[in-house]
Structure 1
Amino acid sequence: MSDAPVDRRMLEALVCPVTQAPLTYDAETQELISKAAHLAYPIRGGIPIMLEEEARKLD
């Protein structure tokens, strides 16, 4: 599966669904990072998956 381009303006508008805090885009891992919630939300095919149960827990 090829990675679709990510719309930076869309990413800037998104916030963590758990904390409402801003997210940081990690291009290498294709994830949106919520430092406040210690979660990494995946981006699949250019679409952010903003579900807590789909997020990876960060240390």
Structure 2
Amino acid sequence: MSISQELLEILVCPQCKGDIRLTENQDGLVCERCRLLYEIRDGIPIMLPEEAKPLA
């Protein structure tokens, strides 16, 4: 299940309020500025900074 384009257009990084992008395999959202990955679980983006994973 992927996230709708409409939802992607309004979502921002909860930490810096910057733009996010969908990962290539559509399993997460990435904030390049904060270098964080927000996972998508069961079609729901988990937009909590404490749940985000740092990018390598």
Indicate yes or no: 2:52 matched with 1:55: yes
**Structure 1 unaligned residues grouped into runs of 5+:** none
CA distance in 2, matches of 1:44, 1:58: 18
Identity of aligned residues (%): 38
**What is the CA distance between 1:29 and its match in structure 2?**
5.1
Unaligned ranges ≥5, structure 2: none
Output the aligned Cα RMSD.
Answer: 1.3
Q: How many residues align?
A: 56
Please list every run of at least 4 consecutive aligned residues from structure 1 whose deviation after the TM superposition is greater than 6 angstroms.
none
TM-score normalised by the chain length of structure 2: 0.88
TM-score (norm 1): 0.84
